[in-house]
Homo-oligomer: A and B are copies of this chain.
Amino acid sequence: MPRYESAPQLTNDYITSVWEMLPRYVRPTLLLQSETLSAQLGCDITIASETFQYTGSFKFRAAYNLLSSVAESRIVTASSGNYGQAVAYACKLLGKKCTVVMPVTSAQVKVAAVQSHGGSVDLIDVQKISRNERVQQLLDEQPGAFSAQAYDDYRVVAGNSTLGMEILNAAAFDVILVPVGGGGLSSGQVVARDHAGARTEIIGAEPQPGNDAARSLRSGTLTYNEREPATIADGARTLGLGRLNWEILQHGVADIVEVPDDITLEALRRYFRYLNLKVEPTGALSLGALMTAPERFQGQRVCCIVSGGNVDPTVYASALLGE
């Protein structure tokens, strides 16, 4: 495995220890082969679904690995979505207290999910204060609290790499297709591949509205969106990749496919129709990438990662009806 300047702690020994410990605390991913999708797209497709992971997304792998390794008992984080739930549930299991900063516009179901795990929700008006500023305020008010990063942390990347471990153990895939937001999940797959010494290509699937990672890869320089991108894939509404994530992805991914939102929604509908799988829009990005560039994957053995399943019923119903 390469050495990374921004995280010298990311060693083979460290990954080995995480792969030994973390699987005892997470649910194994659900692997599903699909004859129908394979026939439609001309390749051999397996889905690795994290929709039944604790708190409904892969983020629990990251949150549990990170928070079980820090001594602090008070945790602060900013998340409007899956990471907040994952941190809240991990804190509950680990006997820590957490505060999750969320925009006041967050879906009620997401606020309720954090609270149901015993987390405190701190609602902010993002027009008036940024999430990071508010996290800093809370850290100033609570000396000794720990700020949990959602992707730019080697312990997050290592936690996410356990999903890659499960996938690589299951079959000799040519490609793993993985949604890209801040780059935590995708860089975890690169680390897993390199640690296992496998030759599997890792290919990112990024929403076309908000294609900072694809642009970064093309230009060779970490590039940011000017504002939070307006994409249906709400888990990928990030300004840019984390520093460590970029360092890992720059030479670690073979490509990043930009997926238009309408194809992401069509992928969501195919999961519903052909696999009985409820996925959130962000989770549908990897199948969306296959549908965007099917010729790229002809005849290959492809694993599509579904990152999570948490989506509001009204959003999901609209997506199903194609509205």
Instruction: List residues of chain A with CB under 8 Å of any chain B CB.
Output: 30, 32, 36, 51-52, 56, 109, 116, 269, 272-273, 275-278, 309-310, 313-314, 316-318, 320-321
Contacts and interface: CB of A to CB of B under 8 A. Distances in A.
A323 B269 CA distance: 20
A272 B276 contact: no
A166 to B, nearest CB: 16
Contacts of A318: 317
A310 B273 CA distance: 8
B314 A321 contact: yes
B278 A313 contact: no
A104 B286 CA distance: 37
Nearest to A277: B278
B309 A313 contact: no
B321 A269 contact: no
A278 B272 contact: yes
A164 B321 CA distance: 36
B51 A276 contact: yes
B276 A276 contact: no
Contacts of A278: 272, 276-278
A270 to B, nearest CB: 11
Contact of A313 (B277, B310, B320): B320
A320 B310 contact: no
A32 B278 CA distance: 15
A273 B314 contact: no
Contacts of A269: 313
A269 B109 CA distance: 13
Nearest to A322: B313
